[in-house]
Structure 1
Amino acid sequence: MLNDLLREDLGLTGTKFGCGIAVCRVCTVAVQRVPGAHLEPVRSCTTPVSAIQGKIVTTVEGLEQDGVLHPLQQAFLKHFSFQCGYSAPGFLMASYCLLDKLRRSPVSKDKLDHVINEAVGKHVCRCTGYVRYYSAIKEVILETRGLVI
């Protein structure tokens, strides 16, 4: 599976392994079919490596650029969104895909909470309430020009 390749063969341990049946979503990565295509959140624990051949995979390690955390990572820290950190990579990657979706198709402010819930509402975190995750994600979306109309 993709999760095994990432963690065991490539040493990219930021992507976590949780349930192994694609329910908890801690294993979420972003997959792009071709450069310029939209990002899709993919659960790596049940995705065969053959399914991503020729595609671009971004893990949580790929969010930071030149030593600078991605705005989502910064917001998660600012809002103390996570405690143990195990589910955070899945939330981050689903949120990263959501930002890409909103760049392509902005949403009205009154629908923003619903859109965030659609993106991360099924992610499982046993440590925290989800309010801090949602607050961090919403802050980044509202502060990023062109995502909300």
Structure 2
Amino acid sequence: MSIKTRPLTLTLNNKQYGPLDVPEGLMMIDFLHEYVHMTGSRLGCGQGICHACVAIVDNPSGTSEEVRTCITGAHFFNGKKVRTVEGIAKVDEQGGVVELSAIQQAFLDHYSFQCGYCTPGFVNAATIFVEQLKRQPIAREDLEGAISKALENHICRCTGYVRYYEAVRDVVLKTPGLLKETVK
């Protein structure tokens, strides 16, 4: 008896992969870890609840969304453009990190983690949030609620929430164009 495979092709962190023969039932988290050696996304609960495993899918419309890789099969990503936490920072041609993203740097500056296990999921969620604000700024008075909504599905078992929220707030407040100008 053999394991049934199908070809999988995707763009991952701006690099083309495939076609690769991948078992039909393989979860994306296992593909990331075992086939392309990207271990930044973490297997937390294995049930899609904690969101430590999320990857970003960039849609053709220009929007992005989080997809939980522990409960989503690798073949769901066939033909898609995907980013993991490894693809958020700017890298050189050899793959070495040249500059962290504003979110990653803010998380470091605010010590926005304790054990760090959930951090990749929070980085991806915050990245999508900032990208959404670039397309559609919000009023300053709506910022706290918007941050809560953007991060609400992510679970931190060490209770690092306050610092995650502070880091995201800091990035938004320091990045021109993310908040609507108020007219006085």
- TM-score when normalising by structure 2: 0.77
Q: How is 1:131-142 mapped onto 2 (pairs within 5 angstroms)? A: 131-142=162-173
1:95–1:119: 8 Å Cα contact kept in structure 2?
yes
Q: Determine which of 38, 44, 48 is the counterpart of 1:22.
A: 48
The structure whose residues are more often strand, as a share, is: 2
> Residue 127 of structure 1: CA displacement?
1.4
What is the number of equivalent residue pairs in this alignment?
148
Instruction: Give the gaps of 5 or more residues in structure 1.
Output: none
Structure with greater Cα Rg: 2
- Give the corresponding residue for 1:37: 62
Moved more, 119-128 or 9-18: 119-128
Give the whole-Å Cα distance in 2 for the aligned partners of 1:112 and 1:7: 35
Moved more, 43-52 or 92-101: 43-52
1:29–1:42: 8 Å Cα contact kept in structure 2?
yes
1:81–1:128: 8 Å Cα contact kept in structure 2?
no
Q: Determine which of 110, 120, 123 is the counterpart of 2:151.
A: 120
Give the whole-Å Cα distance in 2 for the aligned partners of 1:76 and 1:108: 23
The structure whose residues are more often helix, as a share, is: 1
Q: Determine which of 127, 130, 145 is the counterpart of 1:96.
A: 127
1:32–1:40: 8 Å Cα contact kept in structure 2?
yes
> Residue 109 of structure 1: CA displacement?
0.6
Give the whole-Å Cα distance in 1 for the aligned partners of 2:147 and 2:135: 15
Give the whole-Å Cα distance in 2 for the aligned partners of 1:51 and 1:142: 36
1:6 is the counterpart of 2:6: no
- Give the corresponding residue for 1:82: 113
Code of the aligned partner of 2:159: T
Give the whole-Å Cα distance in 2 for the aligned partners of 1:10 and 1:51: 16
Q: Determine which of 91, 108, 112 is the counterpart of 2:139.
A: 108
Give the whole-Å Cα distance in 2 for the aligned partners of 1:122 and 1:143: 25
1:63 is the counterpart of 2:88: yes
Higher relative contact order (CA 8 A, sep 6+): 1
Point out 4+ residue stretches in structure 1 off by more than 2 angstroms.
Answer: none
> Residue 94 of structure 1: CA displacement?
0.5
Instruction: Give the gaps of 5 or more residues in structure 2.
Output: 1-26, 92-97
Give the whole-Å Cα distance in 2 for the aligned partners of 1:2 and 1:129: 27
- TM-score when normalising by structure 1: 0.95
> Residue 122 of structure 1: CA displacement?
2.2
RMSD: 1.1
Identical-residue share of aligned pairs (%)? 43
Code of the aligned partner of 2:104: Q
